[in-house]
Amino acid sequence: MIILRKQIEGLTYSWTIYRDGRTVQAFFGVNEPWMLDEDLDEKTEERFTFRYQARRRVKELIAEKQADGYQEEITPDPVPSQEEQLTFYKRATWFAYVLFGVGLIPLVTPWTLSPYVTLILAAFLFIMSIASGKMLPFWVKATCFISYVLINISYRQAPDIRYLDAGLLLVTGMFLFVYMKKSKKRFNA
């Protein structure tokens, strides 16, 4: 969400531009509309076929409004709530246990891992690396993503190496578990 403001004769005129996927919404308003004789509220909504078209339209709208003298107001990024952080911590710790357990199974039993189980867990690693937002630092996301790529490559290129996938799952699970335990005070603070 981008907010652009301009002051004219004691009134603050503002544009709020919001992009949600492929939809761009722009709202215009005045801080004290009772001082004006006319109603100046305006709302526009545009839908696009692709997301890049919506991003380009937002940039165009910002450039247009800045050419008219509007200044962009800097808004801080939203911070996840304490409840969201705790929920994420619990889910990530549980997922680390699952990775560790599934990686340990072929090492201590005669059974082997199904490639489908491995790919499903790797897909969860990929989703976690992409969708965790500000909950995880970049280097943890990168480690999860690299583990996903290595598991995917080993599934396609080296299916005959017995403990490769199990080792990758085990190491990633241990890494994630250790990181989550060390950062527990951050989530519980």
Domain of residue 25, CATH code: 2.20.140.10
Whether residues 30 and 6 fall in one domain: yes
Same-domain check for residues 124 and 176 = yes
Q: Which of 23, 42, 73 is the last residue of a domain?
A: 73
Asked if 150 and 181 sit in the same domain, the reply is yes
pLDDT by residue, tens only, the chain of 189 residues:
788 888 887 788 888 888 888 899 888 877 765 555 555 667 889 999 998 899 999 999 999 989 988 888 876 666 667 787 788 888 888 888 888 888 888 888 877 777 778 778 878 878 877 777 777 888 888 888 888 888 778 777 876 776 777 888 888 888 888 888 887 766 555
- Same domain as 183, residue 90: yes
Same domain, 35 and 53: yes
Among candidate residues 39, 73, 107, the one where a domain is terminated: 73
- String of b and e for 154-181 (b: at least 16 CB within 10 Å)? bbeeeeeeeebbbbbbbbbbebbbebbe
Range of the domain at 158: 82-188
CA angle 99–81–188, rounded 5-degree value: 60
28 and 86, same domain (yes or no): no
Domain count, the chain: 2
